[in-house]
Amino acid sequence: MRAWVAVHRKHHAYVDREGDPHSPVVHGIAPIFFAGYRYYFRESTNEATLRRFGHDCPDDWLERNLYEGRSNLGLALLAAIYLGLLGPWLGLLGFALQLMWMPLCAGVINGLGHHAGYRNHETRDGSRNVVPLALVIAGEELHNNHHRFPRSAKFSTRWWEFDVGWAVIRALAACGLARELYVYDRKWRPGRRCRRCDRPRRRRSRPRGAERMHEGRRKGSLPLSQLSWSAAGFYLLVHALCLGVVYTGLSWHALALFAGGFAARMFALTVGFHRYFAHRAFKTSRWFQFVLALLASTTLQGGVIWWAETHRRHHRNADTSRDLHSPHFQGFFYSHYLWFLDRRNRVTCHEAIPDLARYPELRWLDTWHFVPFAAMCVGLYHYWGAEGVLWAGLLPTVLIWEITHWVQSFSHAWGGYRRYASDDLSRNHWPLGVLALGEFHNNHHRFSSSARQGHVWWELDVGWYVLRLWAALGLVWDLKTPTNLSQETSGASERGEPFV
């Protein structure tokens, strides 16, 4: 018993990082799922682990001479129970199935419980609930709930979840065999039903997901006196002009213009504004730096210095009350649409970003950021008329706006998957990442200064592929990747954990 407790406590102390005895993030999902018991047995013989994490466990004669010294007697006792209850043939069959079932359960909890499923609570690890009806492994399937409230005897935290282990504990408490039960880290008194203790504290369930997050919840609001009416009017006007598709019609030529206009400018945004100017993920010459700023400015997302400064501010305060667009503090609608229309957020702070403000050409472009878009529309009209302005100019602009909005709000709110246990609530959404040419948001927040944001082969990062080509041509150099960033501190989220 002492060995099991020590290994489990060490798992919670180092969860999903180097030192975790059985983390699929560190060791891979396949070894933990199919052979996780080997990692447990190896760690259970580590005397340092037993001394540090095995405290407060029974240390009597039974523990030293029966449980710890002769643990295999438990298997013999289990075999005797099966044979005594079911007879020789059915007993042997039941015992064999039990021997196969126990390692599989460990693989499901230690492997899938940190790899696949859903999350009720934002924790600093990658824990997940495998299924809502925890009937088979005595409630352990609700693994994310357990990691959020590790001392709780009740693992279900939603009305539609069922923890059969809690039902058994309640029965033991009714018989006087269990007492001082903790529910959501608070003491529960048997024989007295307390509705407050049977439910999680809803206000704290989200903000307590990361140490850097402030307690409480503040909904973002935008008083009309702080609304930038000119920006809001222009934003709505561009959307309204897209209704011109009724006039131009749909054709293969129009679709080709749309695809070209979207791909070129989406690439300029993710590689230029985001990876280069905001995070300095690679180096380039001064003239090519200006070309990137010029092309990215055609997306109509503000000036280059303003964009980089506000984005760096977001990373410094990600998912805290000081974040410019956190859906958990400012609300989903504000973080999705309103934050950039707030006058308080539209001022460029040159003092906060001196590495870019020292270039006069970038300061000029930051002030006159709408000029590249206007010049582009003039060229499109010259060559393809109204169809070119609409399909290669306005429609791609709106789509790029929406993708940016969804990354800023949705990728900090729901769904997706978390490859890394970052200090914020970022998550990857595969369709959104591919459509944004490589913006896998949890990967990015874990290695924010990396030029590469797709970390496995199926996370298609077009921006990275083109950067590799440019590096071969000598246009860019010193590309930062998660591999070399893990050896140094670079950005708010890098901690030197292994890159997988």
pLDDT category of residue 222 using cuts at 50, 70 and 90: low
Q: How confident is the model at residue 189 (pLDDT cuts 50, 70, 90)?
A: very low
Q: Is 277 a residue whose pLDDT tops 60?
A: yes
Q: What is the mean pLDDT of residues 116-127?
A: 81
pLDDT at 139 over 70: yes
Q: What is the mean pLDDT of residues 46-56?
A: 79
11-15 contacts at long range (C-beta below 8 A, 24 or more positions apart): 11/110, 12/147, 12/150, 13/53, 15/124, 15/125, 15/127, 15/147, 15/421
Report the mean per-residue pLDDT for the chain.
Answer: 80
The pLDDT value given to residue 484: 66
pLDDT at 205 (0 to 100): 39
Residue 390: pLDDT above 90? yes
104 in Cβ contact with 113 (< 8 Å) = no
* Structure tokens given for 394: 């306005």
pLDDT > 90? residue 378: yes
- 207 has a pLDDT exceeding 60: no
pLDDT at 345 over 60: yes
Mean pLDDT of 230-253: 88
pLDDT, greater one: 151 or 296 = 296
Backbone φ and ψ for 198, nearest 5 degrees, come out as -85, 0
- pLDDT confidence of residue 220: 52
Give Rg (Cα) of the chain. Answer: 28
Tell me what the mean pLDDT of segment 378-402 comes to. Answer: 92
The residue-averaged pLDDT of 408-434 equals: 85
Query: Mean pLDDT across the stretch 321-339?
Result: 81
Mean pLDDT of 482-490: 58
- Quote the pLDDT of residue 381: 92
Compute the average pLDDT of residues 182-205. Answer: 46
Q: Read off the pLDDT of each residue in 162-169 and give the average, rounded to a whole number.
A: 84
Confidence band of 227 (pLDDT split at 50, 70, 90): confident
Percent share of the chain, pLDDT over 70:
84
Among the ranges given (276-280, 286-290, 420-424), the one the predictor scored with the smallest mean pLDDT: 420-424
pLDDT (0 to 100) of residue 78: 75
Confidence band of 64 (pLDDT split at 50, 70, 90) = low
**Once rounded to an integer, what is the mean pLDDT over residues 220-230?**
71
- In this prediction, residue 65 has a pLDDT band, given cuts at 50, 70 and 90, of low
Find, among 154, 143, 161, 150, the residue nearest to 105 by Cα: 143
Look at residue 54 and tell me whether its pLDDT is greater than 80.
no
Q: What is the C-alpha separation between 463 and 273, in angstroms, rounded?
A: 12
Of the ranges 37-46, 197-206, 261-270, which is most confident? 261-270
pLDDT of residue 206: 38
Question: Residue 129 in contact with residue 145, Cβ under 8 Å?
Answer: yes
Q: Is the pLDDT of residue 208 over 50?
A: no
Mean pLDDT, residues 97-106 taken together: 74
Cα 432–Cα 436–Cα 439 angle in degrees, nearest 5: 80
Q: Mean pLDDT over residues 315-340, rounded?
A: 82
Q: Is the pLDDT assigned to residue 198 strictly greater than 70?
A: no
Highest averaged pLDDT of the listed ranges 17-21, 43-47, 242-246, 274-278: 274-278
Q: Is the dihedral angle over the CA atoms 296, 302, 308, 311 positive or is it negative?
A: negative
pLDDT of residue 305: 92
Q: What is the pLDDT of residue 209?
A: 39
